[in-house]
Every structure is written in C-alpha cells, then in structure tokens.
Amino acid sequence: MSDEGKRIDGKLIAEDVVAIAKAHTEKLVATKGVVPGLAVIIVGEDPASQVYVASKGRKAKECGFHSVQHTLPADTSEADVLTQVQALNEDAAIHGILVQLPLPKHIDENKVIQTIAPEKDVDGFHYMNVGKLGTGDVSSAFVPCTPTGSMILIRRVLGDDLSGLNAVVIGRSNIVGKPMASLLLSANCTVTIAHSRTKDLEGLTRTADIVVAAVGRPEMVKGSWIKKGATVIDVGINRIDAPERGEGKTRLVGDVDYQDALDHAAHITPVPGGVGPMTIALLMGATITSACRHADFETPDF
C-alpha cells in the first residue's frame, strides 16, 4: 500500500523547525545583540557519538549559533569533566550545554548531568527540568528533544487540541517514554505507559488514538495492533540485516511494521525520516529558546 497522505514527513517538518530557529536567531541578534551559544562535551572516541556531535555542530552553525565542541580523551577524570561543565555554566556566551552520552564507565553520568546549570540544560535531563515537566510547567522546562519533536509531529497532523484522545506510549525510559507521556498528559490526552511487563500489549495498543513506540525492537508493533485511523509515532531506530541489498548490507527499521501498519493508521512516521531528524532540530530549538530567555526576549514557537 502506498503511504501517500499518511506518511508524516519528519525531514520536512524538521527543516521547518530549523528555519524558524534560524529566523528567530537573526531577530535576537538584531534586537538584543545576543548570539545563541551551544557547547557539546564529548569524552572518548566512540564513532557513533562522534558522528552525532559533528552533525549537531553543523546544524548549530547553520542556525547562526556560536558552536563549540570540547573533545576530551577517554581517560579524562570525572573531576575534570565536572570542571569543564562548571566552566561552561559560567560562560556567558553559552546558552545550551550538552554532554554526549554514553560517558566512559569510570564517570558517573548522572553526576555530570546534574552539574549542568538547569537553565542551560537543553537536553532536559536535570532534575529541575524533569520536575517542571512532571508538574505540568511545560512552558518553562527544557524537555528532552525526541519527545518534544514527536509532539510537534503529532500536532502538525492532529492540530493543537488533543483533548480526550487515548494515547499509548510503549517504553518507559527517562529519555523518551516518560517525558513523552508527560507531554501527552499536559495536552489533555488519556495516557497509558506500556513497558516490558505490560499484559496484553496488543489489546492495549488497539485502544489508542495515538501510539508512540519507543522500545528498540525491530517491527514489534504489527498492523493488527493499530486502531483504524490512529496516529503512529515510531521512535525506534533498529539496524537489521538486509541481504536483499547485497551481502553484509543492513538497513534501518522502526519499532512498528510500517507497511503492515499503513493499512490501519491515518498518519504514521517512517524510519528513517520521521522522528530522527526532529531530535536534532529540537536541540537547536531548545538552544535558541534558552538564549531568548536569557536575553528576556520572546521565545520562538515551533
């Protein structure tokens, strides 16, 4: 079945978010003389992390930000990483600080994250921001970028009023599942969080007007689990073997069986090209938002 009219084009919507961030940056610079600054700390040489950090740096420059990267050797002590974070906390040119995870095992990740000044915590992992989101203070919190981006995709297809819709979030991680559920709850959805111990996941998912899958299991959610007309947001990114493309080749799939789900869903995100591009776009969104708050300037609306 063709996905025409059903596919939520995350790549296109992410480009729109970046364009808004860029235009707002120009306004902020012209009005207040403030250039948004994003600093990324990376410890060690994990190749996947290097790729992510490089693309964040490129996107930041594209938005007109001041972008800095601190690459520390894998054997950097925890104390030295904390010192680096504290220096960035005090640096007036920096409005967003991001520590690329995972960190080497000898460093306590949580200690590092909780050292980031909450008002520069663009990833939204500091307890202050987690608490704000949990108490419904969404407008002044920093919320993790993947669920924020997923919410924008939902609103682009369903509009702003999500009141009373049943939402099932599959996955309860602190990075995706839990903040996603909080955002949907703040938008007046009736929210259920499902996880590895949930009974009758299939039946539960079938009650949902909005399904968000954030599990990390290739094509686990089948078409028959999806209610007719539901909106499906597939956060999962899974690399599987693709012998049909040649020996040793692989391809990316989501947590939802896309072709199967097309028969049931009204709107669905593909993998790749759905939620993925939104995550980095919303990191730019959080950085310009932080700079605007700092400069007492109107924040952008994505």
Q: Give the shortest CB-278-to-ligand NAD separation in angstroms.
A: 7
Q: Which of 56, 59, 178, 227 is catalytic?
A: 56
Q: How far is CA 277 from CA 5, 9, 18, 104, 259, in A?
A: 20, 10, 10, 26, 21
**Token duo for residue 35:** 């250039």
Q: Which of 84, 121, 123, 257 is catalytic?
A: 123
Residue 259 annotated to the active site? no
Judged by beta carbon, residue 118 or residue 171, the one nearer ligand NAD is: 171
Q: Give the shortest CB-201-to-ligand NAD separation in angstroms.
A: 6
Judged by beta carbon, residue 56 or residue 70, the one nearer ligand NAD is: 56
Q: Give the shortest CB-283-to-ligand NAD separation in angstroms.
A: 10
The residue number with the shortest CB distance to ligand NAD is: 173
Residue 69 annotated to the active site? no
Judged by beta carbon, residue 94 or residue 268, the one nearer ligand NAD is: 268
Judged by beta carbon, residue 107 or residue 181, the one nearer ligand NAD is: 181
Q: Give the shortest CB-285-to-ligand NAD separation in angstroms.
A: 14
Judged by beta carbon, residue 32 or residue 217, the one nearer ligand NAD is: 217
Q: Give the shortest CB-175-to-ligand NAD separation in angstroms.
A: 5
Q: Which of 6, 59, 100, 227 is catalytic?
A: 100
Residue 56 annotated to the active site? yes
Q: Which amino acid is at 10?
A: G
β-strand pairing of 238-241 with 250-253: antiparallel
For binding to ligand NAD (CB under 6 A), which residues are involved?
A: 146, 170-173, 175-177, 194-196, 198, 201, 214-217, 235-238, 275-276, 279
**Token duo for residue 63:** 């938005």
Non-local CB neighbours of 230 within 8 Å, separated by 6+ positions = 208, 209, 210, 211, 264, 265, 266
Active site residues: 56, 100, 123
